[in-house]
Structure 1
Protein backbone atom coordinates (compact mmCIF):
# COMPACT_ATOMS: atom_id res chain seq x y z
CA UNK A 1 0.00 0.00 0.00
CA UNK A 2 1.45 3.31 -1.01
CA UNK A 3 1.77 6.09 1.56
CA UNK A 4 -0.86 8.53 0.34
CA UNK A 5 -3.81 10.54 1.62
CA UNK A 6 -6.95 12.10 0.22
CA UNK A 7 -9.74 14.09 1.89
CA UNK A 8 -12.96 15.25 0.23
CA UNK A 9 -14.73 18.45 1.23
CA UNK A 10 -17.59 17.17 3.36
CA UNK A 11 -18.12 20.12 5.68
CA UNK A 12 -21.84 20.19 4.89
CA UNK A 13 -22.68 16.53 5.36
CA UNK A 14 -26.42 16.15 5.99
CA UNK A 15 -27.90 14.63 9.16
CA UNK A 16 -31.21 12.91 9.95
CA UNK A 17 -32.85 9.99 11.74
CA UNK A 18 -32.57 7.42 8.91
CA UNK A 19 -28.80 7.06 8.73
CA UNK A 20 -28.94 4.90 5.58
CA UNK A 21 -30.84 7.58 3.65
CA UNK A 22 -28.54 10.30 4.92
CA UNK A 23 -25.41 8.33 4.00
CA UNK A 24 -26.75 7.73 0.49
CA UNK A 25 -27.49 11.44 0.03
CA UNK A 26 -24.03 12.39 1.26
CA UNK A 27 -22.53 10.12 -1.40
CA UNK A 28 -24.92 10.77 -4.28
CA UNK A 29 -24.70 14.55 -4.05
CA UNK A 30 -21.09 14.37 -5.25
CA UNK A 31 -22.44 13.02 -8.54
CA UNK A 32 -25.98 14.39 -8.77
CA UNK A 33 -26.19 17.56 -6.74
CA UNK A 34 -29.85 18.29 -7.49
CA UNK A 35 -31.13 15.59 -5.12
CA UNK A 36 -32.31 16.45 -1.62
CA UNK A 37 -33.13 14.16 1.31
CA UNK A 38 -36.86 13.65 0.54
CA UNK A 39 -36.06 12.70 -3.05
CA UNK A 40 -33.27 10.32 -2.02
CA UNK A 41 -35.31 8.64 0.72
CA UNK A 42 -38.38 8.49 -1.48
CA UNK A 43 -36.69 7.02 -4.54
CA UNK A 44 -34.62 4.53 -2.48
CA UNK A 45 -37.59 3.42 -0.36
CA UNK A 46 -36.18 4.50 3.00
CA UNK A 47 -39.00 7.02 3.52
CA UNK A 48 -41.45 4.10 3.73
CA UNK A 49 -39.58 1.61 5.90
CA UNK A 50 -40.73 0.27 9.26
CA UNK A 51 -39.29 -2.86 10.86
CA UNK A 52 -40.34 -3.84 14.38
CA UNK A 53 -39.30 -6.68 16.70
CA UNK A 54 -42.55 -8.00 18.19
CA UNK A 55 -40.68 -9.25 21.26
CA UNK A 56 -39.48 -5.90 22.59
CA UNK A 57 -39.24 -3.24 19.82
CA UNK A 58 -35.45 -3.44 19.89
CA UNK A 59 -33.16 -0.67 18.70
CA UNK A 60 -31.87 -2.78 15.80
CA UNK A 61 -35.17 -2.70 13.91
CA UNK A 62 -34.47 0.22 11.56
CA UNK A 63 -31.18 -1.33 10.39
CA UNK A 64 -32.17 -5.02 10.37
CA UNK A 65 -32.59 -5.65 6.64
CA UNK A 66 -30.74 -7.04 3.63
CA UNK A 67 -28.32 -4.16 3.18
CA UNK A 68 -26.78 -5.26 -0.12
CA UNK A 69 -29.99 -5.63 -2.13
CA UNK A 70 -31.78 -2.61 -0.64
CA UNK A 71 -28.80 -0.28 -1.10
CA UNK A 72 -28.01 -1.50 -4.62
CA UNK A 73 -31.64 -1.38 -5.73
CA UNK A 74 -32.23 2.01 -4.15
CA UNK A 75 -29.06 3.54 -5.58
CA UNK A 76 -29.92 2.17 -9.02
CA UNK A 77 -33.19 4.11 -8.82
CA UNK A 78 -31.11 7.27 -8.43
CA UNK A 79 -29.05 6.41 -11.49
CA UNK A 80 -26.13 5.01 -9.50
CA UNK A 81 -24.48 1.62 -9.97
CA UNK A 82 -23.03 0.53 -6.64
CA UNK A 83 -20.84 -2.29 -5.38
CA UNK A 84 -21.18 -3.63 -1.85
CA UNK A 85 -19.12 -5.90 0.38
CA UNK A 86 -20.36 -7.30 3.68
CA UNK A 87 -19.51 -9.80 6.38
CA UNK A 88 -22.55 -11.41 7.98
CA UNK A 89 -23.58 -13.09 11.24
CA UNK A 90 -21.60 -10.61 13.33
CA UNK A 91 -18.26 -11.87 12.11
CA UNK A 92 -15.34 -9.46 11.77
CA UNK A 93 -13.64 -9.31 8.36
CA UNK A 94 -10.68 -11.50 7.58
CA UNK A 95 -7.41 -9.71 6.76
CA UNK A 96 -8.12 -10.30 3.06
CA UNK A 97 -11.67 -8.94 3.33
CA UNK A 98 -10.40 -5.91 5.21
CA UNK A 99 -7.75 -5.28 2.57
CA UNK A 100 -10.41 -5.48 -0.18
CA UNK A 101 -12.69 -3.05 1.65
CA UNK A 102 -9.89 -0.55 2.31
CA UNK A 103 -8.98 -0.62 -1.37
CA UNK A 104 -12.63 -0.07 -2.36
CA UNK A 105 -12.95 2.92 -0.05
CA UNK A 106 -9.68 4.48 -1.16
CA UNK A 107 -10.54 4.04 -4.83
CA UNK A 108 -13.93 5.69 -4.28
CA UNK A 109 -12.37 8.66 -2.51
CA UNK A 110 -9.69 8.94 -5.20
CA UNK A 111 -12.57 9.20 -7.70
CA UNK A 112 -14.03 12.05 -5.66
CA UNK A 113 -16.96 10.23 -4.05
CA UNK A 114 -17.34 9.29 -0.35
CA UNK A 115 -18.00 5.65 0.52
CA UNK A 116 -20.89 4.40 2.65
CA UNK A 117 -20.08 2.21 5.63
CA UNK A 118 -21.60 0.71 8.77
CA UNK A 119 -20.73 0.77 12.48
CA UNK A 120 -17.77 3.10 12.32
CA UNK A 121 -18.34 5.02 15.56
CA UNK A 122 -21.79 3.61 16.38
CA UNK A 123 -23.98 0.88 14.80
CA UNK A 124 -25.44 3.15 12.12
CA UNK A 125 -24.61 4.04 8.52
CA UNK A 126 -22.27 6.87 7.68
CA UNK A 127 -19.68 8.10 5.21
CA UNK A 128 -15.95 7.70 4.79
CA UNK A 129 -14.68 10.81 3.03
CA UNK A 130 -10.91 10.69 3.49
CA UNK A 131 -7.93 8.51 4.30
CA UNK A 132 -4.32 8.81 5.41
CA UNK A 133 -2.00 5.87 4.85
CA UNK A 134 0.66 7.30 7.11
CA UNK A 135 -1.77 7.43 10.02
CA UNK A 136 -3.53 4.24 8.82
CA UNK A 137 -6.87 5.94 9.33
CA UNK A 138 -10.01 7.02 7.52
CA UNK A 139 -11.93 10.27 8.05
CA UNK A 140 -15.42 9.07 8.87
CA UNK A 141 -18.73 10.59 9.92
CA UNK A 142 -21.85 8.90 11.26
CA UNK A 143 -24.56 9.89 13.78
CA UNK A 144 -22.04 9.59 16.63
CA UNK A 145 -19.68 12.17 15.19
CA UNK A 146 -16.95 13.07 12.73
CA UNK A 147 -13.59 11.59 13.69
CA UNK A 148 -10.76 9.35 12.48
CA UNK A 149 -11.40 5.64 12.07
CA UNK A 150 -8.31 3.36 12.13
CA UNK A 151 -8.20 1.05 9.12
CA UNK A 152 -8.15 -1.97 11.42
CA UNK A 153 -11.45 -0.89 13.04
CA UNK A 154 -13.41 -1.14 9.77
CA UNK A 155 -15.84 -3.98 10.41
CA UNK A 156 -14.64 -4.28 13.99
CA UNK A 157 -16.87 -1.73 15.69
CA UNK A 158 -19.47 -2.40 18.34
CA UNK A 159 -21.10 -5.31 16.48
CA UNK A 160 -18.25 -6.81 14.41
CA UNK A 161 -19.92 -6.62 11.02
CA UNK A 162 -18.44 -4.94 7.97
CA UNK A 163 -20.42 -3.25 5.22
CA UNK A 164 -19.07 -0.95 2.54
CA UNK A 165 -20.89 0.45 -0.50
CA UNK A 166 -19.14 2.43 -3.21
CA UNK A 167 -20.24 3.99 -6.49
CA UNK A 168 -19.07 2.32 -9.70
CA UNK A 169 -20.88 4.39 -12.28
CA UNK A 170 -23.74 6.84 -12.79
CA UNK A 171 -26.35 6.88 -15.52
CA UNK A 172 -29.47 8.75 -16.56
CA UNK A 173 -32.85 7.44 -15.45
CA UNK A 174 -36.20 8.91 -16.51
CA UNK A 175 -38.74 10.15 -13.98
CA UNK A 176 -41.35 7.54 -14.94
CA UNK A 177 -38.98 4.65 -14.25
CA UNK A 178 -37.88 6.27 -11.00
CA UNK A 179 -41.42 6.70 -9.74
CA UNK A 180 -42.48 3.22 -10.85
CA UNK A 181 -39.48 1.59 -9.16
CA UNK A 182 -39.93 3.62 -5.96
CA UNK A 183 -43.60 2.72 -5.72
CA UNK A 184 -42.86 -0.97 -6.28
CA UNK A 185 -40.25 -0.95 -3.51
CA UNK A 186 -42.58 0.85 -1.10
CA UNK A 187 -45.54 -1.44 -1.82
CA UNK A 188 -43.45 -4.61 -1.54
CA UNK A 189 -42.13 -3.45 1.83
CA UNK A 190 -45.62 -2.59 3.03
CA UNK A 191 -47.32 -5.80 1.90
CA UNK A 192 -44.74 -8.61 2.15
CA UNK A 193 -42.45 -9.87 4.90
CA UNK A 194 -38.80 -9.36 3.99
CA UNK A 195 -37.28 -11.69 6.58
CA UNK A 196 -36.37 -15.31 5.83
CA UNK A 197 -36.45 -16.55 9.43
CA UNK A 198 -39.11 -16.51 12.13
CA UNK A 199 -36.67 -15.37 14.79
CA UNK A 200 -36.06 -12.64 15.73
CA UNK A 201 -39.78 -11.90 15.21
CA UNK A 202 -39.33 -8.88 12.96
CA UNK A 203 -42.26 -7.62 10.95
CA UNK A 204 -41.98 -4.92 8.31
CA UNK A 205 -44.47 -2.73 6.51
CA UNK A 206 -48.07 -2.64 7.68
CA UNK A 207 -47.55 -5.69 9.90
CA UNK A 208 -44.80 -3.75 11.62
CA UNK A 209 -47.52 -1.81 13.41
CA UNK A 210 -49.10 -5.09 14.55
CA UNK A 211 -45.73 -6.23 15.94
CA UNK A 212 -45.35 -2.89 17.73
CA UNK A 213 -48.80 -3.22 19.29
CA UNK A 214 -48.08 -6.83 20.27
CA UNK A 215 -44.98 -5.79 22.21
CA UNK A 216 -46.96 -3.13 24.07
CA UNK A 217 -49.74 -5.60 24.87
CA UNK A 218 -47.14 -7.93 26.43
CA UNK A 219 -45.56 -5.08 28.40
CA UNK A 220 -42.03 -6.03 27.35
CA UNK A 221 -41.01 -2.94 25.41
CA UNK A 222 -37.42 -1.67 25.32
CA UNK A 223 -37.41 1.94 26.47
CA UNK A 224 -34.42 2.87 24.31
CA UNK A 225 -35.48 0.82 21.28
CA UNK A 226 -39.07 2.02 21.27
CA UNK A 227 -38.08 5.68 21.49
CA UNK A 228 -35.59 5.23 18.66
CA UNK A 229 -38.08 3.46 16.40
CA UNK A 230 -40.74 6.13 16.98
CA UNK A 231 -38.34 8.91 16.06
CA UNK A 232 -37.06 7.06 12.96
CA UNK A 233 -40.47 6.04 11.59
CA UNK A 234 -42.13 9.38 12.37
CA UNK A 235 -39.33 11.31 10.70
CA UNK A 236 -39.38 8.99 7.68
CA UNK A 237 -43.12 9.50 7.18
CA UNK A 238 -42.68 13.26 7.36
CA UNK A 239 -39.98 12.91 4.71
CA UNK A 240 -42.34 10.72 2.64
CA UNK A 241 -44.92 13.52 2.74
CA UNK A 242 -42.30 16.00 1.55
CA UNK A 243 -41.37 13.60 -1.26
CA UNK A 244 -44.93 13.53 -2.54
CA UNK A 245 -45.26 17.28 -2.05
CA UNK A 246 -42.35 17.62 -4.48
CA UNK A 247 -43.71 14.93 -6.83
CA UNK A 248 -47.12 16.60 -7.20
CA UNK A 249 -45.30 19.61 -8.70
CA UNK A 250 -42.84 17.48 -10.67
CA UNK A 251 -45.84 15.74 -12.30
CA UNK A 252 -48.08 18.81 -12.65
CA UNK A 253 -48.33 18.07 -16.38
CA UNK A 254 -50.27 14.89 -15.49
CA UNK A 255 -53.28 15.88 -13.41
CA UNK A 256 -54.21 12.35 -12.31
CA UNK A 257 -50.69 11.51 -11.06
CA UNK A 258 -50.28 14.92 -9.44
CA UNK A 259 -53.58 14.56 -7.57
CA UNK A 260 -52.67 11.08 -6.33
CA UNK A 261 -49.34 12.43 -5.11
CA UNK A 262 -51.25 15.08 -3.18
CA UNK A 263 -53.44 12.37 -1.62
CA UNK A 264 -50.37 10.33 -0.64
CA UNK A 265 -48.77 13.42 0.87
CA UNK A 266 -51.85 13.99 3.02
CA UNK A 267 -51.90 10.40 4.26
CA UNK A 268 -48.19 10.27 5.15
CA UNK A 269 -48.55 13.56 7.02
CA UNK A 270 -51.42 11.94 8.91
CA UNK A 271 -49.20 8.99 9.86
CA UNK A 272 -46.46 11.35 10.98
CA UNK A 273 -48.92 13.40 13.06
CA UNK A 274 -50.14 10.33 14.97
CA UNK A 275 -46.58 9.21 15.71
CA UNK A 276 -45.49 12.71 16.62
CA UNK A 277 -47.88 12.61 19.57
CA UNK A 278 -45.81 9.72 20.96
CA UNK A 279 -42.46 11.47 20.67
CA UNK A 280 -43.07 13.61 23.74
CA UNK A 281 -44.16 10.50 25.64
CA UNK A 282 -41.02 8.62 24.62
CA UNK A 283 -38.10 11.06 24.29
CA UNK A 284 -34.83 9.79 22.87
CA UNK A 285 -32.55 8.54 24.34
CA UNK A 286 -34.24 8.52 27.77
CA UNK A 287 -37.13 6.42 26.48
CA UNK A 288 -39.91 7.28 28.90
CA UNK A 289 -42.08 4.54 30.44
CA UNK A 290 -43.53 2.40 27.63
CA UNK A 291 -44.47 -0.47 29.96
CA UNK A 292 -46.63 1.71 32.19
CA UNK A 293 -50.21 0.49 31.46
CA UNK A 294 -51.62 3.96 30.89
CA UNK A 295 -48.84 4.84 28.42
CA UNK A 296 -49.17 1.48 26.69
CA UNK A 297 -52.88 2.02 25.98
CA UNK A 298 -52.27 5.53 24.64
CA UNK A 299 -49.54 4.14 22.39
CA UNK A 300 -51.62 1.23 21.11
CA UNK A 301 -54.43 3.64 20.19
CA UNK A 302 -52.03 5.94 18.32
CA UNK A 303 -50.30 3.05 16.54
CA UNK A 304 -53.67 1.74 15.35
CA UNK A 305 -54.51 5.16 13.95
CA UNK A 306 -51.08 5.41 12.31
CA UNK A 307 -51.50 1.97 10.75
CA UNK A 308 -54.91 2.86 9.32
CA UNK A 309 -53.52 6.05 7.79
CA UNK A 310 -50.57 4.15 6.36
CA UNK A 311 -52.90 1.47 4.98
CA UNK A 312 -54.75 4.22 3.12
CA UNK A 313 -51.42 5.70 1.98
CA UNK A 314 -50.33 2.36 0.53
CA UNK A 315 -53.64 2.11 -1.33
CA UNK A 316 -52.82 5.47 -2.91
CA UNK A 317 -49.38 4.17 -3.88
CA UNK A 318 -51.01 1.22 -5.62
CA UNK A 319 -53.34 3.55 -7.50
CA UNK A 320 -50.32 5.66 -8.47
CA UNK A 321 -48.42 2.62 -9.67
CA UNK A 322 -51.28 1.58 -11.96
CA UNK A 323 -51.45 5.11 -13.33
CA UNK A 324 -47.68 5.29 -13.94
CA UNK A 325 -47.66 1.90 -15.65
Structure 2
Protein backbone atom coordinates (compact mmCIF):
# COMPACT_ATOMS: atom_id res chain seq x y z
CA UNK A 1 0.00 0.00 0.00
CA UNK A 2 1.58 3.27 -1.13
CA UNK A 3 2.12 5.76 1.65
CA UNK A 4 0.17 9.02 1.65
CA UNK A 5 1.94 12.38 1.51
CA UNK A 6 0.80 13.79 4.84
CA UNK A 7 2.42 16.78 6.59
CA UNK A 8 1.92 18.45 9.97
CA UNK A 9 1.45 21.77 8.18
CA UNK A 10 -2.06 20.74 7.14
CA UNK A 11 -3.00 19.77 10.69
CA UNK A 12 -3.88 21.61 13.90
CA UNK A 13 -2.50 25.06 14.66
CA UNK A 14 0.45 24.80 17.03
CA UNK A 15 1.45 28.23 18.41
CA UNK A 16 4.68 26.99 20.02
CA UNK A 17 5.63 23.92 17.98
CA UNK A 18 5.30 21.73 21.08
CA UNK A 19 1.64 20.71 21.03
CA UNK A 20 1.27 17.32 22.75
CA UNK A 21 1.91 14.63 20.15
CA UNK A 22 -1.19 12.52 20.82
CA UNK A 23 -3.91 15.14 20.25
CA UNK A 24 -1.83 16.70 17.48
CA UNK A 25 -1.64 13.33 15.72
CA UNK A 26 -5.31 12.67 16.41
CA UNK A 27 -6.43 15.97 14.86
CA UNK A 28 -4.34 15.29 11.76
CA UNK A 29 -5.74 11.76 11.49
CA UNK A 30 -9.32 13.05 11.61
CA UNK A 31 -8.52 15.57 8.89
CA UNK A 32 -6.74 13.32 6.42
CA UNK A 33 -9.23 10.50 7.08
CA UNK A 34 -12.04 12.93 6.18
CA UNK A 35 -13.83 12.24 9.45
CA UNK A 36 -14.27 15.84 10.60
CA UNK A 37 -14.77 19.35 9.26
CA UNK A 38 -13.46 20.72 12.58
CA UNK A 39 -10.62 18.36 13.53
CA UNK A 40 -9.01 20.81 15.97
CA UNK A 41 -12.01 20.43 18.31
CA UNK A 42 -10.76 16.96 19.24
CA UNK A 43 -7.75 18.47 21.02
CA UNK A 44 -10.23 19.80 23.59
CA UNK A 45 -12.98 17.17 23.42
CA UNK A 46 -10.45 14.37 23.97
CA UNK A 47 -9.66 16.10 27.26
CA UNK A 48 -6.02 16.75 26.39
CA UNK A 49 -6.34 20.54 26.05
CA UNK A 50 -7.17 20.64 29.77
CA UNK A 51 -4.45 18.28 31.01
CA UNK A 52 -1.07 18.99 32.59
CA UNK A 53 1.55 16.63 34.04
CA UNK A 54 4.79 17.83 35.63
CA UNK A 55 7.92 16.08 36.87
CA UNK A 56 8.87 18.70 39.44
CA UNK A 57 12.39 17.36 40.02
CA UNK A 58 13.92 17.57 36.54
CA UNK A 59 11.10 18.47 34.11
CA UNK A 60 11.70 15.14 32.41
CA UNK A 61 9.81 15.17 29.07
CA UNK A 62 8.64 11.59 29.69
CA UNK A 63 6.07 12.94 32.17
CA UNK A 64 3.96 13.88 29.14
CA UNK A 65 3.42 10.19 28.41
CA UNK A 66 3.04 8.80 31.93
CA UNK A 67 -0.73 8.52 32.13
CA UNK A 68 -3.33 5.83 31.55
CA UNK A 69 -3.03 5.16 27.80
CA UNK A 70 -6.70 4.17 27.71
CA UNK A 71 -7.39 7.91 27.86
CA UNK A 72 -6.40 7.86 24.18
CA UNK A 73 -9.34 5.85 22.90
CA UNK A 74 -11.67 7.24 25.57
CA UNK A 75 -10.86 10.75 24.34
CA UNK A 76 -11.66 9.80 20.74
CA UNK A 77 -15.00 8.36 21.84
CA UNK A 78 -15.78 11.38 24.01
CA UNK A 79 -15.26 13.57 20.94
CA UNK A 80 -17.95 11.66 19.06
CA UNK A 81 -16.08 9.01 17.06
CA UNK A 82 -15.94 5.24 17.09
CA UNK A 83 -12.48 3.90 17.62
CA UNK A 84 -10.46 0.70 17.57
CA UNK A 85 -7.62 0.51 20.06
CA UNK A 86 -4.98 -1.93 21.20
CA UNK A 87 -2.12 -1.64 23.65
CA UNK A 88 0.49 -3.73 25.41
CA UNK A 89 2.21 -2.32 28.47
CA UNK A 90 5.45 -2.97 30.35
CA UNK A 91 4.17 -5.93 32.36
CA UNK A 92 2.47 -7.75 29.47
CA UNK A 93 5.42 -9.34 27.67
CA UNK A 94 3.63 -12.69 27.51
CA UNK A 95 1.19 -11.24 24.95
CA UNK A 96 3.72 -9.08 23.07
CA UNK A 97 3.70 -11.02 19.80
CA UNK A 98 -0.05 -11.64 19.83
CA UNK A 99 -0.87 -7.95 20.37
CA UNK A 100 1.75 -6.76 17.86
CA UNK A 101 0.45 -9.03 15.09
CA UNK A 102 -3.13 -7.98 15.81
CA UNK A 103 -2.08 -4.31 15.79
CA UNK A 104 -0.41 -4.71 12.38
CA UNK A 105 -3.58 -6.31 11.00
CA UNK A 106 -5.64 -3.41 12.39
CA UNK A 107 -3.26 -0.83 10.93
CA UNK A 108 -3.26 -2.34 7.44
CA UNK A 109 -7.05 -2.61 7.37
CA UNK A 110 -7.33 1.01 8.49
CA UNK A 111 -4.87 2.34 5.90
CA UNK A 112 -6.67 0.35 3.19
CA UNK A 113 -9.82 2.25 4.25
CA UNK A 114 -7.98 5.62 4.16
CA UNK A 115 -7.95 5.84 7.96
CA UNK A 116 -4.64 6.80 9.55
CA UNK A 117 -3.65 5.27 12.93
CA UNK A 118 -2.04 7.16 15.80
CA UNK A 119 0.84 5.04 17.11
CA UNK A 120 3.23 5.35 20.04
CA UNK A 121 7.03 5.49 19.63
CA UNK A 122 7.57 5.86 15.91
CA UNK A 123 10.62 7.93 15.03
CA UNK A 124 11.01 9.07 18.64
CA UNK A 125 9.19 8.10 21.88
CA UNK A 126 6.12 10.20 21.06
CA UNK A 127 2.91 9.63 19.14
CA UNK A 128 2.89 9.93 15.38
CA UNK A 129 0.86 8.89 12.35
CA UNK A 130 1.04 5.76 10.21
CA UNK A 131 0.76 6.86 6.57
CA UNK A 132 1.04 3.57 4.67
CA UNK A 133 2.63 0.13 4.56
CA UNK A 134 4.67 -2.11 2.27
CA UNK A 135 3.64 -5.74 2.60
CA UNK A 136 6.57 -6.98 0.48
CA UNK A 137 9.08 -5.34 2.83
CA UNK A 138 6.90 -5.79 5.93
CA UNK A 139 7.29 -2.16 6.93
CA UNK A 140 4.99 0.64 8.04
CA UNK A 141 5.49 4.20 6.78
CA UNK A 142 5.19 6.90 9.40
CA UNK A 143 5.18 10.62 10.05
CA UNK A 144 7.03 11.36 13.29
CA UNK A 145 6.06 14.31 15.47
CA UNK A 146 9.43 15.84 14.47
CA UNK A 147 8.30 15.91 10.83
CA UNK A 148 10.62 13.05 9.90
CA UNK A 149 9.16 10.49 7.51
CA UNK A 150 10.43 6.95 7.71
CA UNK A 151 9.66 3.25 7.88
CA UNK A 152 9.46 0.82 10.76
CA UNK A 153 9.58 -2.96 10.43
CA UNK A 154 6.50 -4.90 11.49
CA UNK A 155 8.72 -6.77 13.97
CA UNK A 156 9.79 -3.53 15.71
CA UNK A 157 6.31 -2.07 16.34
CA UNK A 158 5.93 -1.54 20.09
CA UNK A 159 9.49 -2.72 20.71
CA UNK A 160 11.55 0.42 20.13
CA UNK A 161 13.13 2.82 22.62
CA UNK A 162 10.16 2.74 25.01
CA UNK A 163 8.80 -0.78 24.41
CA UNK A 164 5.07 -0.12 24.77
CA UNK A 165 2.42 -0.72 22.12
CA UNK A 166 -0.39 1.79 21.67
CA UNK A 167 -2.46 2.04 18.49
CA UNK A 168 -5.53 4.28 18.21
CA UNK A 169 -7.68 4.33 15.05
CA UNK A 170 -10.63 6.74 14.76
CA UNK A 171 -13.19 5.14 12.45
CA UNK A 172 -16.43 7.07 12.01
CA UNK A 173 -18.59 9.83 13.47
CA UNK A 174 -21.24 8.78 15.97
CA UNK A 175 -24.60 10.40 16.66
CA UNK A 176 -23.38 11.91 19.93
CA UNK A 177 -24.69 15.49 20.07
CA UNK A 178 -22.41 18.52 20.28
CA UNK A 179 -24.01 19.40 23.62
CA UNK A 180 -23.29 15.96 25.05
CA UNK A 181 -19.70 16.20 23.81
CA UNK A 182 -19.34 19.61 25.47
CA UNK A 183 -20.82 18.43 28.79
CA UNK A 184 -18.58 15.35 28.88
CA UNK A 185 -15.55 17.49 27.96
CA UNK A 186 -16.26 19.79 30.90
CA UNK A 187 -16.48 16.73 33.16
CA UNK A 188 -13.11 15.51 31.84
CA UNK A 189 -11.53 18.90 32.53
CA UNK A 190 -12.84 18.94 36.10
CA UNK A 191 -11.81 15.34 36.78
CA UNK A 192 -8.24 15.98 35.61
CA UNK A 193 -7.97 19.29 37.47
CA UNK A 194 -8.86 17.49 40.71
CA UNK A 195 -6.23 14.81 40.17
CA UNK A 196 -8.74 12.03 39.54
CA UNK A 197 -6.82 10.47 36.63
CA UNK A 198 -3.93 8.09 37.27
CA UNK A 199 -0.51 9.74 37.10
CA UNK A 200 2.91 9.22 38.72
CA UNK A 201 3.76 12.95 38.63
CA UNK A 202 2.07 16.15 39.71
CA UNK A 203 -1.02 16.70 37.61
CA UNK A 204 -4.10 18.86 37.39
CA UNK A 205 -4.19 22.11 39.34
CA UNK A 206 -1.40 20.92 41.66
CA UNK A 207 0.97 20.63 38.70
CA UNK A 208 1.18 24.41 38.34
CA UNK A 209 2.94 24.71 41.70
CA UNK A 210 5.46 22.01 40.71
CA UNK A 211 6.12 23.82 37.43
CA UNK A 212 6.38 27.24 39.09
CA UNK A 213 8.74 25.98 41.79
CA UNK A 214 11.15 24.52 39.23
CA UNK A 215 12.15 27.96 37.97
CA UNK A 216 14.75 28.76 40.62
CA UNK A 217 18.46 29.53 40.45
CA UNK A 218 19.10 26.14 42.07
CA UNK A 219 17.55 24.29 39.11
CA UNK A 220 18.42 26.72 36.33
CA UNK A 221 21.93 28.08 36.72
CA UNK A 222 23.18 29.37 33.37
CA UNK A 223 20.52 28.96 30.69
CA UNK A 224 17.10 27.54 30.05
CA UNK A 225 17.07 23.89 29.01
CA UNK A 226 15.14 22.25 26.20
CA UNK A 227 12.84 20.77 28.86
CA UNK A 228 11.69 24.23 29.99
CA UNK A 229 10.74 25.04 26.40
CA UNK A 230 9.10 21.64 25.97
CA UNK A 231 6.92 21.96 29.08
CA UNK A 232 5.85 25.55 28.63
CA UNK A 233 5.37 25.09 24.89
CA UNK A 234 3.26 21.96 25.33
CA UNK A 235 0.90 23.46 27.90
CA UNK A 236 0.64 26.83 26.14
CA UNK A 237 -0.41 25.07 22.93
CA UNK A 238 -2.88 22.83 24.75
CA UNK A 239 -4.51 25.76 26.57
CA UNK A 240 -4.75 27.63 23.26
CA UNK A 241 -7.07 24.88 22.04
CA UNK A 242 -9.03 24.84 25.32
CA UNK A 243 -9.62 28.58 24.82
CA UNK A 244 -10.66 28.27 21.17
CA UNK A 245 -13.04 25.37 21.84
CA UNK A 246 -14.75 27.12 24.76
CA UNK A 247 -14.89 30.38 22.83
CA UNK A 248 -16.79 28.63 20.04
CA UNK A 249 -19.06 26.90 22.55
CA UNK A 250 -19.78 30.23 24.26
CA UNK A 251 -21.57 31.46 21.14
CA UNK A 252 -24.29 28.92 21.95
CA UNK A 253 -23.82 28.81 25.74
CA UNK A 254 -23.12 32.37 27.02
CA UNK A 255 -22.37 31.04 30.51
CA UNK A 256 -19.04 29.87 29.09
CA UNK A 257 -17.91 33.35 27.98
CA UNK A 258 -16.00 34.04 31.20
CA UNK A 259 -14.43 30.57 31.17
CA UNK A 260 -13.24 31.11 27.60
CA UNK A 261 -11.73 34.46 28.61
CA UNK A 262 -10.01 32.71 31.49
CA UNK A 263 -8.42 30.09 29.25
CA UNK A 264 -7.30 32.83 26.90
CA UNK A 265 -5.45 34.43 29.83
CA UNK A 266 -3.97 31.06 30.81
CA UNK A 267 -2.73 30.56 27.26
CA UNK A 268 -1.27 34.07 27.10
CA UNK A 269 0.58 33.64 30.40
CA UNK A 270 2.06 30.29 29.43
CA UNK A 271 2.92 31.53 25.94
CA UNK A 272 4.66 34.58 27.45
CA UNK A 273 6.65 32.30 29.77
CA UNK A 274 7.54 30.11 26.79
CA UNK A 275 8.68 33.13 24.77
CA UNK A 276 10.90 34.23 27.66
CA UNK A 277 12.72 30.90 27.96
CA UNK A 278 13.20 30.84 24.17
CA UNK A 279 14.46 34.42 23.94
CA UNK A 280 17.99 35.78 23.70
CA UNK A 281 17.51 37.87 26.83
CA UNK A 282 20.41 37.35 29.21
CA UNK A 283 19.50 34.77 31.84
CA UNK A 284 19.03 36.34 35.30
CA UNK A 285 17.22 35.86 38.60
CA UNK A 286 14.84 38.63 37.55
CA UNK A 287 13.96 36.71 34.40
CA UNK A 288 13.33 33.55 36.43
CA UNK A 289 10.89 35.51 38.58
CA UNK A 290 9.11 36.73 35.47
CA UNK A 291 8.67 33.16 34.25
CA UNK A 292 7.52 32.07 37.71
CA UNK A 293 4.93 34.84 37.86
CA UNK A 294 3.54 33.95 34.44
CA UNK A 295 3.18 30.26 35.33
CA UNK A 296 1.74 31.06 38.77
CA UNK A 297 -0.79 33.44 37.22
CA UNK A 298 -1.84 30.74 34.76
CA UNK A 299 -2.40 28.31 37.61
CA UNK A 300 -4.42 30.78 39.68
CA UNK A 301 -6.59 31.59 36.67
CA UNK A 302 -7.20 27.92 35.94
CA UNK A 303 -8.53 27.44 39.47
CA UNK A 304 -11.19 30.07 38.79
CA UNK A 305 -11.98 28.51 35.40
CA UNK A 306 -12.54 25.08 36.94
CA UNK A 307 -14.75 26.65 39.62
CA UNK A 308 -16.83 28.26 36.86
CA UNK A 309 -17.06 24.98 34.95
CA UNK A 310 -18.21 23.15 38.08
CA UNK A 311 -21.05 25.65 38.53
CA UNK A 312 -22.19 25.79 34.91
CA UNK A 313 -25.89 25.03 34.37
CA UNK A 314 -24.83 22.66 31.59
CA UNK A 315 -23.84 20.05 34.16
CA UNK A 316 -27.42 20.00 35.49
CA UNK A 317 -28.86 18.82 32.18
Cα distance, 1:21 vs structure 2: 1.0
Matched, 1:20 2:22: yes
Q: Is residue 184–residue 321 contact of structure 1 (8 Å, CA) maintained in 2? A: no
Which TM-score applies when normalising by structure 2?
A: 0.86
Counterparts of residues 1-325 of structure 1 (less than 5 Å): 5-8=1-4, 10=6, 13-14=10-11, 16=14, 17-29=19-31, 30-37=33-40, 39-68=41-70, 70-89=71-90, 94-144=96-146, 145-167=148-170, 170-195=173-198, 200=200, 202-217=201-216, 219-220=218-219, 223-249=225-251, 251=252, 257-258=253-254, 260-283=255-278, 293-320=285-312, 322=314, 325=317
Q: Which stretches of structure 1, 4 residues or longer, exceed 6 Å deviation after superposition?
A: 90-93
3-state SS in 1 of match to 2:233: helix
Question: Is there any run of 5+ residues in structure 1 with no aligned partner, and where?
Answer: 252-256
Question: Offset of 1:113 from its aligned partner?
Answer: 0.7
TM-score scaled to structure 1, two decimals? 0.84
Aligned residues: 304
| Deviation of the 1:280 alpha carbon | 2.4
Root mean square deviation, CA, Å: 2.6
SS of equivalent residue, structure 1 residue 134:
coil
Compare 141-150 and 5-14 and name the one that shifted more: 5-14
C-alpha distance in 1 between matches for 2:178 and 2:96: 41
Deviations 1:147-172 (A, max 9, x none): 22222231133222221112455421
Deviation digits for residues 2-53 of structure 1 (CA, Å, limit 9, x no counterpart): xxx254564575254121112112223325221231x111111111111101
Is this contact kept in 2: 1:42–1:243, CA < 8 A? yes
How far apart are 1:228 and its partner, in Å?
Answer: 0.3
| 1:302-325 per-position Cα deviation (integer Å, ceiling 9, x unaligned) | 221111111111122223364562
